[in-house]
């Protein structure tokens, strides 16, 4: 397969991501960025085993993300099962039965015309202006399911073909390694965003903002969309706050922590006076934290460094001794020193501390 220079660079970055000291669903955004350079698609989705047995779902910002809450409606799930062989909801079955990239013709159990008459298509794919799909179930080397990547093309785009299938097949082991859940270091994260919303003690949403809506959608994934009633997990947090108001002893202020492909979300509830002066209201602060790696990769990518310098800068920031960096990269110590000097000159820094400050400076 002949690759353009841009594709070669993207492939090298995917392979580099597979060798990092951090891996898991929280690298999906950076991974999709590289996939867009390797395969044309309009939007991507990643479905993976989430917490408490629920299916996690990350969708790139698009009309499809806005429609994802409908996809989890029981009636739509039932409609999908009538036309799709193994849907994202049936992940365990997909792990057992789907091997290698699957095109739309392999995913559906009915003719395309019948698919387009289904509620599943007309209430999810059609409003998102999508039709074609290329799916790949990822596994660990031991055969355990990691997740399923789904690339979507719009109704006006050409259908996926053998070249895209071959590329996905080539990428499969790298993608699985990047997204395989590893041991998370809770301390190795940075605050990415925060916002506030207001609710009644009974769980009715009273006020929110576009930023709070966005963070809630990321925190609760497709199970949240702007509505009057808060999700059950958040309502349970409010009940804990009410117990404390009534005199129950709590070791610490009520807090809800959620972990998914978009980061770690902490939600804290605090009693406040209602704006109208009637009864009380609850202020809910939501904070999103992301791994330093997830913040570092796009920053490094934007610098446009040559691949060797890109990799070495990553390991410098992560604190590896230069000898270990050389071993990881398969180069001599002298070559590692040369690339380090080139990185410092190019970025106008003198040492690792200045490099870290430069790469993690507020945007």
Read off the pLDDT of residues 226-284 as tens digits, 9 standing for 90 and up: 667 788 889 888 888 877 666 666 556 688 999 999 999 999 998 886 555 556 788 99
152-181: average pLDDT: 96
The confidence score (pLDDT) of residue 277 equals 52
Report yes or no: 55 and 121 within 8 Å, Cβ to Cβ: no
Nearest of 236, 308, 208, 304 to residue 52 by alpha carbon: 236
Q: What per-residue confidence (pLDDT) applies to 88?
A: 79
**320 is a domain residue:** yes
One domain for residues 317 and 347: yes
The residues, ordered by sequence, that sit 6+ positions from 363 with a Cβ below 8 Å of its Cβ are none
Task: Evaluate whether residue 33 is within a structural domain.
Answer: yes
In a domain? residue 261: yes
Residue 298 lies in a domain: no
| Dist. CA 220–CA 231, nearest whole Å | 8
Residue carrying structure tokens 């947090």: 237
Q: Which domain-ending residue is among 147, 179, 211? A: 179
Q: Are residues 193 and 266 in the same domain?
A: yes
Q: Are 286 and 212 in contact (CB under 8 A)?
A: yes
Q: Is residue 309's pLDDT more than 60?
A: yes
Does residue 252 share a domain with residue 346?
A: no
Sheet strands side by side (includes 130-139): 55-59, 43-49, 145-154, 130-139, 102-103
170 & 227 share domain: no
Q: What confidence score (pLDDT) does residue 239 get?
A: 87
- Evaluated on CA atoms 154, 156, 159, 163, the torsion sign reads negative
Residues 168 and 196 grouped into a single domain: no
pLDDT value at residue 116: 94
Residues 58, 37: Cα–Cα separation, whole Å: 19
Q: Which of these ranges, 86-95, 272-281, 344-353, has the smallest mean pLDDT?
A: 272-281
Which range (7-16, 70-79, 169-178) has the least confidence? 70-79
Looking at the 3D structure of the chain, how many domains does it have?
Answer: 3
In angstroms, the CA 184 to CA 187 distance is 9
175 shares its domain with 193? no
The verdict on 163 and 262 lying in the same domain is: no
- Is 295 among the domain residues? no
Residue 81 falls inside a structural domain:
yes
Q: Give a yes or no: residue 243 inside a domain.
A: yes
Q: Following DSSP, what letter does each residue of 225-260 receive, concatenated?
A: -S-SB--HHHHHHHHHHHHHHTT---SS--EEEEEE
Across 22-31, 45-54, 69-78, 196-205, least confident range = 45-54
184 assigned to some structural domain: no
Where among 127, 160, 179 does a domain terminate? Answer: 179
Of the residues 264, 290, 316, which one is the last residue of a structural domain? 290
- Residues 68, 169 within the same domain: yes
Structural element, H or E, at residue 337:
helix 333-347
Q: What CATH number corresponds to the domain at position 271?
A: 3.30.450.20
- The pLDDT tens digits for 113-166 are 999 999 999 999 999 999 999 999 999 999 999 999 999 999 999 999 999 999
Q: pTM to 2 decimals? A: 0.89
Range of the domain at 161: 5-179
In the predicted model, what is the mean pLDDT of residues 46-62? Answer: 86
280 and 321 both lie in a single domain = no
User: Are 240 and 170 within one domain?
Assistant: no
Q: Say yes or no: 91 and 29 in one domain.
A: yes
Picking from 46-50, 88-92, 257-261, 303-307, which range would have the lowest pLDDT averaged per residue?
88-92
Are 25 and 148 in the same domain?
Answer: yes
At residue 242, the pLDDT reads: 77
């Amino acid at each position: 397969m002949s690759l353009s220079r841009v594709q070669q660079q993207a492939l090298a970055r995917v392979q580099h991501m597979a060798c990092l000291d951090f891996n898991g669903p929280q690298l999906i955004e950076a991974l999709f960025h590289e996939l867009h350079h390797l395969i044309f698609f309009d939007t991507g989705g990643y479905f993976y085993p989430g917490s408490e047995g629920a299916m996690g779902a990350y969708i790139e910002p698009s009309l499809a993300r806005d429609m994802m809450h409908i996809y989890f409606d029981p009636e739509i799930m039932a409609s999908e099962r009538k036309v799709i062989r193994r849907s994202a909801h049936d992940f365990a079955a997909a792990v057992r039965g789907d091997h290698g990239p699957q095109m739309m013709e392999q995913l559906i159990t009915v003719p395309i015309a019948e698919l387009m008459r289904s509620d599943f298509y007309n209430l999810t794919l059609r409003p998102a202006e999508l039709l074609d799909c290329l799916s790949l179930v990822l596994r660990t080397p031991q055969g355990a399911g990691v997740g399923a990547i789904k690339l979507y093309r719009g109704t006006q785009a050409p259908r996926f073909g053998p070249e895209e299938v071959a590329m996905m097949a080539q990428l499969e082991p790298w993608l699985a390694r990047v997204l395989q859940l590893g041991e998370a270091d809770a301390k190795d994260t940075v605050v990415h965003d925060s916002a506030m919303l207001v609710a009644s003690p009974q769980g009715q949403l009273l006020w929110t903002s576009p930023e709070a809506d966005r963070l809630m959608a990321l925190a609760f994934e497709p199970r949240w969309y702007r509505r009057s009633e808060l999700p059950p997990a958040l309502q349970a947090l409010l009940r804990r706050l009410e117990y404390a108001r009534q005199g129950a002893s709590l070791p610490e202020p009520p807090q809800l922590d959620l972990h998914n492909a978009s980061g770690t979300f902490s939600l804290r509830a605090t009693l406040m006076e209602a704006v109208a002066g009637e009864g009380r209201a609850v202020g809910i602060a939501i904070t999103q934290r992301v791994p330093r790696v997830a913040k570092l990769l796009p920053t490094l990518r934007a610098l446009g460094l040559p691949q060797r310098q890109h990799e070495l800068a990553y390991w410098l920031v992560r604190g590896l001794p230069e000898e270990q960096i050389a071993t990881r990269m398969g180069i001599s110590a002298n070559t590692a020193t040369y690339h380090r000097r080139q990185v410092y000159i190019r970025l106008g820094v003198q040492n690792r501390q200045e490099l870290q400050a430069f790469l993690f400076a507020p945007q």
